[in-house]
Amino acid sequence: MPRVAVVTDSSTCLPQALLDKLSIGVVPVSVHLPGADTVDGSDQLSRRISEAVERDQYVRSSQPFITDYLAAIEDSGCEEVAVVTPAMEFAGMFRNASLAAELTPRRAVVLDSRTAAAGQALVVVAGAQAAASGAGLEAVVERIEWASRRVDLVASLQTLEPIRRSHRVPAPALGDPALDRSRTLFRMRNGTVEALGDLAGDGEALARIAEEFRAGGGPGAEHSTVFHADCPEAAERLCSLLGEVDFVSGFSAAMQLHTGPGVVGAAWLPRTAAFER
């Protein structure tokens, strides 16, 4: 068993097989639907959210509470725990996790991944692999911090309206609503979101993601992933353009609340000589 436990939240969209293999603890995001509350990852949750949105019903999500993080730390089975959260600019999980770390008698460190979703997933994987190799807390923290500085994510949104309504991304980064077209490309890195332009359609969007992937050290990256929100065909086409990636994952239902369907993109962790094996 690893000396250090790595804990994150369900918005990372990590496949269950990888969570099990690396013993990654997950704190679920809560989703509030008409007449019922549930947790991210529940069966058919994406479908239920889509149906509620189509009916113009109120649907929202809420981040894990302090007690949720505290329970995950206490239940980890390790005396040392690294908790990885989305960038503070995008969510308030870092604060809740930090308060939980102050309450536990275990040695817990909370780290801001400086990204979110699939980018955060790769940061978590980097730390969990170090823990699985037997590294101590300092080495695991160093690995997570290194990955947080390096990870890159480029994706295409079918529409900006859901993410505008969520207020999770600063309005200037999203541009003028009047300029919305069929696809908008953006980059998430170092706690910022950068709009890369409006594109004519799916084909152009996937080609641009592949171009950014190649230019940013994606080929031969230490870790890489393709992710999507209910558009597996587009994800498959993107994989064919990028070549081999470590895994393909769908967005968590909680993430789809903020982005809407049709999101497709890639995240990768370029290699550096200091961490090559």
Residue-range domains of the chain with CATH: 4-149 (3.40.50.10170), 152-275 (3.30.1180.10)
Stretch 18-29: mean pLDDT: 95
Measured in residues, the chain has a length of 277
pLDDT in tens, 81-140: 999 999 999 888 999 999 999 999 999 999 999 999 999 999 999 999 999 999 999 999
Of 28-32, 143-147, 181-185, the poorest mean pLDDT is in 181-185
Q: Is the pLDDT of residue 270 over 70?
A: yes
Stretch 56-79: mean pLDDT: 90
For residue 33, name the pLDDT band (cuts at 50, 70, 90): confident
Q: What is the pLDDT of residue 275?
A: 40
Q: Name, in order, each residue with C-beta under 8 angstroms of 169's C-beta and a sequence gap of 6 or more.
A: 90, 163, 193
b (16+ CB within 10 A) / e for 218-252: beebbbbbbbbbbbeebbebbbeebeebbbbbbbb
Listing from the earlier edge strand, what are the strands of the sheet with 247-250? Answer: 192-199, 183-189, 152-157, 264-269, 223-228, 247-250
Q: Is the pLDDT of residue 30 over 50?
A: yes
Stretch 197-223: mean pLDDT: 92
Q: Do residues 25 and 267 make contact, with C-beta atoms less than 8 angstroms apart? A: no
For residue 250, name the pLDDT band (cuts at 50, 70, 90): confident
CA distances from 141 to 22, 46, 175 (A): 16, 33, 36
Q: Do residues 109 and 69 make contact, with C-beta atoms less than 8 angstroms apart? A: no
Stretch 247-263: mean pLDDT: 78
Q: What is the pLDDT of residue 198?
A: 81
Q: What is the pLDDT of residue 202?
A: 86
Q: What is the pLDDT of residue 271?
A: 86
Token duo for residue 71: 């329970």
Q: Do residues 66 and 103 make contact, with C-beta atoms less than 8 angstroms apart? A: yes
Q: Is the pLDDT of residue 236 over 60?
A: yes
